[in-house]
Structure 1
Amino acid sequence: MPGPSDQVKALLRAHASGDEDLFYSVALQLAAQSARRGHSKVALELRDLIDKSRSKQVPRGQPTPIGSPRGELSELLAITYPDEGLSQMVLSDEISATLGRVIHEQRQSDQLLRHGFVPAHRLLLTGSPGTGKSLTAAALAHELSLPLMTIRLDGVMSRFLGESASKLRLIFDEVARRRAVYLFDEFDALGSDRGATNDIGEARRILNSFLLFLDEAPSESVLIAATNHMSLLDPALFRRFDALVRYALPGRAQAVSVIRRRLASMDSSQINWNAVASETHDLSHADLVKAAERAAKDAILAGGSTIDTPLLLSALAARRKPSID
Structure 2
Amino acid sequence: MEGRLLATAAHVRALAESHHAGDDATFRAALADLIDSAGRLGDRSREVEDLRRLLDVRRASTRPQAPAPPPAPTSVVQPRGELARVLTVSLPRTTLADLALSGDVMTRLHRVLTEQRHADTLRARGFDPLRKLLLVGPSGTGKSTTVEVLAAELALPVFSVRLDVFADLSAEDALTRLALVFDLLAQSRGVCVFDDVDALIDPDGGERSRTRLRDVLRAFTGHLEDDTSTSLLVVTTNRPQLLERPVLRRFDTVLDYPLPSAGVVQEVVLRRLRGFDLSTVEWPRVVSTASGLSHEQVSAAAALAAKQCILDGADQVETASLLAALRERRQMLKMAP
TM-score (normalised: structure 2): 0.74
- The number of residue pairs the alignment matches comes to 265
Contact 1:128–1:249 (Cα < 8 Å) also in 2? yes
Give the corresponding residue for 1:77: 87
The alpha-carbon deviation at position 165 of structure 1 amounts to 1.2
Which residue, 252, 265, 269 being the options, matches 1:259?
Answer: 269
Instruction: Report whether the alignment pairs 1:143 with 2:153.
Output: yes
Bigger mean CA offset, 196-205 vs 165-174:
196-205
CA distance in 2, matches of 1:239, 1:219: 18
CA distance in 2, matches of 1:191, 1:140: 27
CA distance in 2, matches of 1:167, 1:279: 45
What are the equivalent positions in structure 2 for 1:273-284 lying under 5 Å apart?
273-284=283-294
CA distance in 1, matches of 2:324, 2:165: 40
Instruction: Report whether the alignment pairs 1:307 with 2:317.
Output: yes
Q: 1:106 to 1:302 in 2, by over 3 A?
A: same
CA distance in 1, matches of 2:209, 2:273: 47
Give the corresponding residue for 1:174: 184
Give the corresponding residue for 1:245: 255
Give the corresponding residue for 1:39: none
Contact 2:75–2:91 (Cα < 8 Å) also in 1? no
What are the equivalent positions in structure 2 for 1:19-168 lying under 5 Å apart?
60-63=70-73, 66-168=76-178
Contact 1:272–1:309 (Cα < 8 Å) also in 2? yes
Contact 2:186–2:231 (Cα < 8 Å) also in 1? yes
CA distance in 2, matches of 1:140, 1:131: 16
Q: Which runs of 5+ in 2 are unaligned?
A: 1-68
The alpha-carbon deviation at position 274 of structure 1 amounts to 2.2
Instruction: Report whether the alignment pairs 1:229 with 2:233.
Output: no
Q: Deviations over 1:284-317 (max 9, x none)?
A: 1001000001101111122222211111111111
Which residue, 200, 220, 228 being the options, matches 1:218?
Answer: 228
The alpha-carbon deviation at position 85 of structure 1 amounts to 1.4
The alpha-carbon deviation at position 157 of structure 1 amounts to 2.6
Contact 2:159–2:190 (Cα < 8 Å) also in 1? yes
Contact 2:164–2:199 (Cα < 8 Å) also in 1? no
Contact 2:191–2:232 (Cα < 8 Å) also in 1? yes
Q: 1:66 to 1:319 in 2, by over 3 A?
A: closer
The alpha-carbon deviation at position 142 of structure 1 amounts to 0.6
Give the corresponding residue for 2:216: 206
Q: Deviations over 1:95-135 (max 9, x none)?
A: 11111111111111111212222111100000011100010
Q: 1:150 to 1:161 in 2, by over 3 A?
A: closer
Contact 2:200–2:214 (Cα < 8 Å) also in 1? no
RMSD, aligned α-carbons: 2.2
CA distance in 2, matches of 1:71, 1:159: 15
Q: 1:160 to 1:183 in 2, by over 3 A?
A: same
The alpha-carbon deviation at position 234 of structure 1 amounts to 2.3
Contact 1:61–1:143 (Cα < 8 Å) also in 2? no
Contact 1:73–1:170 (Cα < 8 Å) also in 2? yes
State the secondary structure of the residue aligned to 1:67. coil
Q: Which runs of 5+ in 1 are unaligned?
A: 1-58
CA distance in 2, matches of 1:220, 1:66: 19
TM-score (normalised: structure 1): 0.76
The alpha-carbon deviation at position 259 of structure 1 amounts to 0.6
Contact 1:63–1:142 (Cα < 8 Å) also in 2? no
Which AA in structure 1 matches 2:134?
L
Give the percent of matched residue pairs that are identical in Structure 1 and Structure 2.
38
The alpha-carbon deviation at position 66 of structure 1 amounts to 4.9
Which AA in structure 2 matches 1:138?
E
CA distance in 2, matches of 1:177, 1:303: 52
Q: Deviations over 1:21-71 (max 9, x none)?
A: xxxxxxxxxxxxxxxxxxxxxxxxxxxxxxxxxxxxxx9532486532122
Q: 1:281 to 1:198 in 2, by over 3 A?
A: farther
